[in-house]
Copies of this chain bind each other. A is one copy, B any other.
Amino acid sequence: MARRSTKMTEERPTSGVGTTVTSYDVARHAGVSQSAVSRCFTPGASVSPRTRDRIMKAVDALGYRPNMIARSLITKRSNLIAVIVANLGFNPEFTGTLSRLFAARGLNLLFYTLDREDDADRVIEQLWQYRVDGVVSAARLSERHIEQMTKRGVPVVFLNRVYDTIPVNSVCCDQAEGERWLVDRLWAAGHRRFGIVAGPDASIVSRQRVTGASDRLATLGGDPPRLAIGDFTYDGGRAALRALAVGGSGMPEAVICANDMMALGCIDEARHGFGRRIPQDLSIVGFDGSAPGRWASYDLTTVRQPTHVMIEAAIDMLVTRIEDPSTLTEKRVFSGELVIGGSATIA
């Protein structure tokens, strides 16, 4: 005997119940207005806790399924945000923060990891299919993909990824500034033979950090640093230190790593592979401010990225652009924070 709603957002329950339960049925059962029921399922809309409680009891009793998906066909908003991360070199602490901050705004997170660049095609197809409202990407996407998103009106904000050739929204840590701090302090303490452990060639973050450090060394009049390439992992850091140690002038006095994880590998390889003391024989610094860098076995000197602030900013930028697609493209760059540990002799 349910009164039928004409709204497209109503739909038959998929199982168990023979009649269609609508938001009007829920409203009558709970003794509230239909618009209160509707508000109850609209992210950010105001409903008193008491009303909400009554509505949810009625929802349970009747087996009502509000249908956000059908609603998205009308409102053109799915409240879904896709988060794309690269598997390698991604800070897992980001994921939890993203999920929490999106949830606080009533947004839901569709999570994708890219193992290789060409995985992106598959992921981008899914974005159209689920009509995501926006994308936060901590992985590099091709210009073609970015242009597709622009064309389809899906705003994207990149975390720590910048593009020279096309306008994209991004939130970054100031990689070059952080490296200048590290180089200046190591230089002032007397280090002159530098080694640099870069990440994969394809990584823009790595290139910015490595260039930042090299440029500063050149400005200070230092010799060109020796370079080894890692893959952002602990094991990659160990292998890179072995590569730096062979040839020419032998082990560098200071090793600058493009991320924390490789710096931890360098520390362990220096100690356990070469029997060196840290920092007396060798200074090692990283970049990220990851949790293991703070562990007593490492006590890493590094630059901490303001993760929480960066993610808040990315979400702000995204939500603004979802609400007003004419908002201009913007790049925000935040300073990191120098963290001084016992892994380097600095001045």
Would A112 and B103 be within 8 Å (CB), given that A69-B131, A152-B65, A153-B16 are in contact?
yes
**Closest residue of B by beta carbon distance from A238:** B296
Q: Which A residues from 121 to 150 make CB contacts under 8 A with B?
A: 121-123, 125-126, 128-131, 148
Would A295 and B264 be within 8 Å (CB), given that A113-B96, A126-B108 are in contact?
yes
Complex Cα spacing A99 to B153, Å? 26
Q: In the complex, which of the residues B56, B80, B131, B272 contacts A67, with contact meaning CB atoms closer than 8 Å?
A: B131
Tell me, yes or no, whether A68 is within 8 Å of chain B by CB.
Answer: yes
Chain B residue contacts of A324, Cβ below 8 A: none
Q: In the complex, which of the residues B69, B100, B119 contacts A78, with contact meaning CB atoms closer than 8 Å?
A: B69
Q: What's the interface size class on A, roughly?
A: 35 or more
Complex Cα spacing A292 to B129, Å? 38
Q: Is the CB of A291 within 8 A of B234?
A: yes
Complex Cα spacing A21 to B24, Å? 35
Tell me, yes or no, whether A184 is within 8 Å of chain B by CB.
Answer: no
Q: Which A residues from 256 to 293 make CB contacts under 8 A with B?
A: 264-265, 267-269, 271-272, 291-292
Q: Is the CB of A67 within 8 A of B111?
A: no
Chain B residue contacts of A93, Cβ below 8 A: 92
Q: Is the CB of A129 within 8 A of B66?
A: yes
Complex Cα spacing A280 to B268, Å? 20
Tell me, yes or no, whether A14 is within 8 Å of chain B by CB.
Answer: yes
Q: Is the CB of B113 within 8 A of A100?
A: yes
Chain B residue contacts of A200, Cβ below 8 A: none
Chain B residue contacts of A67, Cβ below 8 A: 129, 131
Q: Is the CB of B111 within 8 A of A95?
A: yes
Q: Is the CB of A73 within 8 A of B153?
A: no
Q: How far is the CB of A261 from chain B (nearest CB, A)?
A: 9
Q: How far is the CB of A197 from chain B (nearest CB, A)?
A: 16
Tell me, yes or no, whether A33 is within 8 Å of chain B by CB.
Answer: no
**Closest residue of B by beta carbon distance from A265:** B295
Complex Cα spacing A63 to B154, Å? 13
Q: In the complex, which of the residues B76, B95, B295 contacts A95, with contact meaning CB atoms closer than 8 Å?
A: B95
Chain B residue contacts of A153, Cβ below 8 A: 14-16
Q: Which A residues from 91 to 123 make CB contacts under 8 A with B?
A: 92-93, 95-96, 99-100, 103, 108-113, 115, 119, 121-123
Tell me, yes or no, whether A72 is within 8 Å of chain B by CB.
Answer: yes
**Closest residue of B by beta carbon distance from A64:** B128
Would A151 and B63 be within 8 Å (CB), given that A69-B69, A69-B78, A110-B108 are in contact?
yes
Chain B residue contacts of A272, Cβ below 8 A: 296-297
Q: Is the CB of B16 within 8 A of A69?
A: no
Tell me, yes or no, whether A70 is within 8 Å of chain B by CB.
Answer: yes
Tell me, yes or no, whether A41 is within 8 Å of chain B by CB.
Answer: yes
Q: How far is the CB of A325 from chain B (nearest CB, A)?
A: 8
**Closest residue of B by beta carbon distance from A115:** B100
Q: Which 9 A-B pairs have CB atoms at the shortest separation, nearest pair first? A: A92-B92, A68-B129, A297-B297, A268-B296, A111-B111, A15-B153, A272-B296, A99-B113, A109-B111
Binding site for B on A (CB under 8 A): 11, 13-16, 41, 56, 60, 63, 65-70, 72-73, 76, 78, 80, 83, 87, 92-93, 95-96, 99-100, 103, 108-113, 115, 119, 121-123, 125-126, 128-131, 148, 151-153, 234, 264-265, 267-269, 271-272, 291-292, 295-298, 325
